[in-house]
Structure 1
Amino acid sequence: MNAAEEDQHPLDSASVVNAKKTLLELLGRAGVFHAEAEELIALVEAGAVVDAHREVRKVEAGAPRGKGELYGAGWEDGAQTVVDELGAVADRALHRALGPAVPAPSPRAGRPDVPRGRPPVGRVDVERAKVAVTPLYLAFTHVSDLDPEVSDEVLRAVLGTMSAVERAGYAGRLSEFAEARQEQLSRLYAEYGPGSDIAIHGRYSLTHSPTSVAVLERLAAAPSLLREEWERAELPPVWLEGLANAWAALPG
């Protein structure tokens, strides 16, 4: 983009700041605390940079043919430089979004090591998990009437097993899990979920909640940590064991 094109671009910095402030105002009127809104916006900003980084990586090996080896080498070097710089920008954006959970990279350092600490679970963490898990659950069954407050406590236990960075990427992990275990999930909810002969109040209560998808993913990925957080939250042990046993009994 040359200077003339840059001057004509509608997304100048003042307009971007204005859009962000407007969004913060609107979210505030809807009852979202300023710090929570800032966190969500920062995650969206970081995600946009990460997406751009992935797109630029595709260009690395895409030098036009027939230009010769020197041209190809220059193309790859230039693309690698852009990829490295954009990767550093993505790291800084993630640091701004997640704060002390991610160390800020030094200008000359490689990508930072991400600590595995598990910070307290916040309201935004729970709401993001709800938005991620609900459509996955509804792809297999329909809404039931398990107490929403109970569902929040279950999600807090689930999210308590993860670092801040893992929570930021949990929607993608859930989608991968649901896709990989699609047949098992279909059978589980057909046999134990809403519409089945199993009563909502009992050892299979969690199959009546979207949180069951998240619990199953954690049972596969971090069972010991999940049981630790479950006990700390004083959730009914029979719910967790009932779901785990039903899952284990399914073929596949």
Structure 2
Amino acid sequence: MGGTVYGDRAAAAIQQVTSLLDSAGVAPEKTQELLALIQAGALEGAQGDVLELAEQPPEKSAAPALHGWVAAVQAAAAELAHIADRTIARARPAARPTAPAALPAHSSSTPIDEAPQKQVEQVLAMAERIFTELTGRTDYSREASLEILPVVLTAIAAEDQADYIAQLEAFATRNRDWLAELYRKYGPGGDLAELDRSGLTEQPESIVICERLDAAPLWLQGVWDGESEGSMLERFAQLWKFGCDTPRPPQPSKAR
């Protein structure tokens, strides 16, 4: 009964919001995408509530029953994430012209078309060292790193490229506990590994992606959309921003 009531109210609310946005001159496809984002966000919230159930098994549960409870909760949470992704995918046009990468709002930021190979190798070496220290793993795909990292590095201003390795190391030191929890929970073998369908927690370049998600998320999204599947970054960004419980230290202000 409750589902039907809320379903009817939701349908009426969607119709009202659609009418209001239409009156305001918002394009129908944009309205659908906005509504889909709201719906997907609600699903993400529900996913968090479901995951909390894993820590609240029925009282006096035997070990096999407890394992089954946790597995069922994780499966339900994963399916909610799948539904959220499908909700967004259905609302977006099948093909969309590539938009120029969104630069940070700083007049002194100079974009680059391509990161020098030497820079790619040096940043990857630093990322590999940090990743191995945090995870103990060396079984990542370096080939995949050499495909993804050059794209990510174009979201760094030309003026910042020379000092970026030091910036990345400082970022990893500052956020070490948060990064460690991210890989422990969502990386291979983690309790919630099935929730990371991006595959990025398996790769050292994910550290660079995390740093850019903090420093220049719109710029990163812009360069990423031109080269890779957008949902991969979106899913990983959700894990990075909201998937860990470790307190994060204050983040430095963006000087540039």
TM-score (norm. length: structure 2): 0.49
TM-score (norm. length: structure 1): 0.50
Which one has a bigger Cα radius of gyration?
1
